């Protein structure tokens, strides 16, 4: 029996009942065919107040960790990256993590229902399993479906998000074919800072959050709790006519101890439990999904000299997923030990890392014969600046207990054309190891091999006087794509109720151009991004399911009479819901507004209106979206 995830979105392997079709991409630009909301966007760009989700030029003084696993000023980062800070997250209201990420360049999301429904993140067109999710450095993954539970994390407790677009297996090993998303939970410093937040919104949404953070002597700390509930809406009008609400309880904690000026110990913890309604396709019962994501991290940071420092981390990420009344349960544990060293000499920086990862899987009723595996890796890196030239080199060798050795590498180069202009180029390889379910379940093939990718990209970036602009073109060729081949006799292991198995049957080219920029006109900050892509399957020549050829995102913000006003707009071209490109999903455009003000010392009022134009659209065929929604929240901070 294989009851698993018939409601899963594209990019999530569905274990037999509704397997994900193979996807490939090639660029070919064609005109937008989108709704009339584009007319409203003209007014926005002309000066209407809109929220900034892309990074303004002022943010270039910030530090990025995820690009190389070493803290770097953004001006030194060669990769295509984005940051989302706490101020931006505070304007999100009751939005999900997927909603927040979808406002960045190069990212599309699909979802089967409300904000707590299964969500796929498509980074530069890659499958959701091809993007690594780290929570305070702890990897979260599923050894059943493959990929992270993007819908499970509480946005209210997140301090910062870093996004790296493009393959990064030479740094992070398996999975990083499309890129890396790292989430940092709340941190503490200074005097004790208690916080409380409440909010109400459409579809019976209720939010309650409380926390405290600070530092005292050698200790720093942060602890947060949140509770979200919603009665939801009918996510599948043609199926079971029930409302698919959710309940989420989450808590996070961070505790640090500065042993002395050179040594620090730190522990992080997150628990997020979600009980959500969903509609399996054509289901007539009240389906529910239980998702429990937990992370635990322990680290020791040591500075041995002005040039040499090390970091030792022991982490564990767990993902529990269960459906009722359909009796399906899966549990994944990812345990990692990392020893990372870095040496800095002038404008040169060298890194070396030893990493051991262990994956464990338990699947009710279809537990694979093999339930665990480990990967051991050695990674080396070098970054150097030579006048106008910047170089970044990384190599990594992984040894997997199941499929053997795999080596990856990347080379990045930047040339400063002037103080404001910089040209970049990079090449890199990546891979994704098959999940234990894909190899050893009754639907698995023991001989299935890792998916592999080879990426080439070039870019041109500008930043000066508060203005920024960038153009990045990429081509990522993916081979050995793992797909589910269904039908009697399709493979030896296809003996279940849905005969078939997983195999390396696909090839894809993920290619495109991302244009982005930001500026200020008078007191209004403006940002915009445009992704042009033509996702193609290299075998069939068809476009990858649920990917648009064109996606545009616009934003701006301003402050008037103490009110921080903003709006965001997204335009997305038409897509196809199937690999054969027979089921068309229409293009759409949505406009969202926000307003916040400090109404008294420490007390902030937030109002948000999403999908102002009440656009009726779908990101997965047969599954509705929530229409126009409103949210009002109050938050208080002690300092």
> In this predicted model, what pLDDT tens digit does every residue of 184-205 receive, in sequence order?
999 889 899 999 999 999 999 9
Q: What pLDDT does 565 receive?
A: 96
Q: What pLDDT does 24 receive?
A: 31
Pairing of strands 584-585, 588-600: unpaired
Q: How many CB atoms lie within 10 A of CB 295?
A: 26
Q: In the numeric block, which tokens belong to residue 419?
A: 């103080």
Angle at CA of residue 549, ends 584 and 174, nearest 5°: 105
Q: What pLDDT does 497 receive?
A: 52
pTM for the whole thing?
A: 0.89
| pLDDT for 471 beyond 90 | yes
What is the average per-residue pLDDT within 466-487? 91
| pLDDT for 42 beyond 50 | no
Residue 304 · residue 342 · CB < 8 Å: no
pLDDT tens-digit map of 375-387 = 999 999 999 999 9
Q: In the numeric block, which tokens belong to residue 193?
A: 């800072």
C-alpha to C-alpha distance for 83 and 424, rounded to whole angstroms: 19
Closest CA to 302 of 268, 337, 261: 261
Q: What pLDDT does 7 receive?
A: 37
More confident residue, 154 or 457: 457
Residue 395 · residue 170 · CB < 8 Å: yes
Portion of the chain with pLDDT greater than 70, in percent:
87
Q: How many CB atoms lie within 10 A of CB 586?
A: 15
Q: What pLDDT does 157 receive?
A: 92
Encode burial over 201-213: b for 16+ CB neighbours within 10 A, e otherwise: bbbebebebebbb
Report the mean per-residue pLDDT for the chain: 86
Distance of CA 119 to the CA centre of its chain: 10
What is the average per-residue pLDDT within 467-474? 96
Q: Which domains does the chain have, with CATH numbers?
A: 38-637 (2.40.170.20)
Q: In the numeric block, which tokens belong to residue 343?
A: 């040496």
| pLDDT for 53 beyond 50 | no
Residue 500 · residue 484 · CB < 8 Å: yes
Tell me if residue 215 falls in helix, strand or coil.
strand
Portion of the chain with pLDDT greater than 90, in percent:
70
What is the average per-residue pLDDT within 87-109? 91
Q: What pLDDT does 443 receive?
A: 82
Closest CA to 485 of 36, 147, 22: 22
């Amino acid at each position: 029996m294989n009851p698993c995830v018939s409601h899963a979105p594209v990019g999530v392997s569905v274990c037999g009942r509704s397997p994900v079709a193979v996807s490939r991409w090639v660029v070919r630009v064609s005109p937008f065919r989108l709704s009339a909301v584009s007319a409203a966007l003209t007014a926005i760009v002309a000066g209407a107040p809109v929220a900034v989700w892309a990074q303004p030029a002022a943010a270039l003084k910030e530090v990025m960790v995820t690009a190389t696993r070493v803290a770097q000023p953004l001006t030194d980062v060669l990769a295509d990256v984005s940051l989302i800070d706490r101020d931006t997250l505070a304007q999100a209201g009751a939005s999900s993590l997927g909603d927040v990420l979808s406002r960045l360049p190069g990212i599309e999301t699909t979802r089967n229902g409300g904000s707590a429904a299964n969500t796929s993140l498509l980074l530069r067109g890659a499958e959701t399993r091809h993007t690594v999710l780290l929570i305070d450095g702890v990897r979260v993954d599923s050894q059943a479906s493959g990929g992270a539970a993007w819908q499970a994390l509480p946005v209210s407790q997140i301090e910062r998000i870093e996004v790296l677009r493009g393959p990064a297996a030479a740094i992070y090993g398996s999975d990083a074919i499309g890129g890396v998303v790292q989430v940092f939970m709340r941190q503490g410093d200074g005097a004790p800072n208690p916080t409380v937040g409440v909010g109400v919104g459409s579809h019976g949404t209720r939010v309650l959050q409380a926390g405290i953070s600070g530092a005292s002597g050698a200790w720093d700390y942060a602890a947060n709790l949140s509770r979200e509930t919603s009665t939801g809406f009918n996510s599948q009008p043609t199926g079971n006519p029930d409302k698919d609400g959710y309940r989420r309880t989450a808590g996070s904690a961070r505790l640090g101890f500065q042993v002395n000026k050179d040594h620090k110990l730190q522990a992080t913890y997150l628990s997020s439990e979600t009980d959500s309604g969903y509609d399996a396709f054509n289901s007539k019962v009240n389906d529910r999904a239980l998702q429990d994501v937990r992370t635990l991290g322990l680290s020791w940071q040591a500075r041995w000299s002005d040039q040499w420092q090390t970091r030792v981390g022991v982490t564990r990420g767990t993902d529990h997923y269960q459906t009722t009344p359909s009796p399906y349960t899966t549990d994944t544990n990812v345990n990692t030990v990392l020893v990372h060293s870095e040496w800095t000499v002038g404008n040169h920086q060298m890194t070396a890392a030893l990493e051991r990862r262990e994956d464990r899987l338990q699947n009710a009723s279809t537990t694979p014969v093999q339930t665990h595996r480990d990967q051991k890796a050695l990674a080396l890196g070098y970054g150097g600046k030579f006048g106008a030239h910047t170089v970044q080199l990384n190599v990594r060798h992984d040894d997997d207990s199941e499929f053997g050795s795999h080596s990856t590498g990347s080379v990045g180069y930047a040339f400063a054309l002037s103080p404001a202009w910089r040209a970049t180029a990079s090449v890199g390889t990546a891979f994704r190891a098959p999940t234990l379910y894909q190899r050893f379940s009754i639907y698995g093939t023991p001989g299935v091999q890792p998916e592999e990718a080879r990426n080439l990209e070039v870019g041109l970036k500008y930043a000066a006087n508060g203005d920024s602009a960038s153009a990045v073109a990429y081509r990522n060729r993916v081979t050995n794509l793992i797909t589910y081949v269904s039908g009697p006799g399709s493979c030896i292991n296809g003996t279940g109720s849905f005969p078939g198995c997983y195999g390396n049957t696909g090839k894809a080219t993920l290619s495109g151009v991302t244009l982005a920029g930001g500026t200020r006109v008078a007191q209004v900050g403006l940002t915009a991004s445009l992704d042009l892509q033509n996702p193609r399957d290299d075998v069939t020549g068809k476009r990858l399911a649920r990917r648009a050829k064109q996606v545009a995102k616009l934003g701006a913000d301003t402050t008037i009479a103490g009110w921080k006003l903003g709006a965001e707009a997204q335009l997305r071209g038409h897509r196809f819901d199937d690999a054969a490109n027979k089921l068309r999903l229409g293009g759409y455009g949505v406009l969202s507004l926000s307003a916040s003000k400090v109404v008294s010392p420490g007390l902030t009022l937030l109002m948000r209106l999403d999908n102002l134009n009440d656009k009726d659209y779908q990101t997965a065929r047969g599954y509705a979206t929530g229409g126009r929604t409103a949210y009002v929240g109050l938050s208080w901070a002690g300092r």
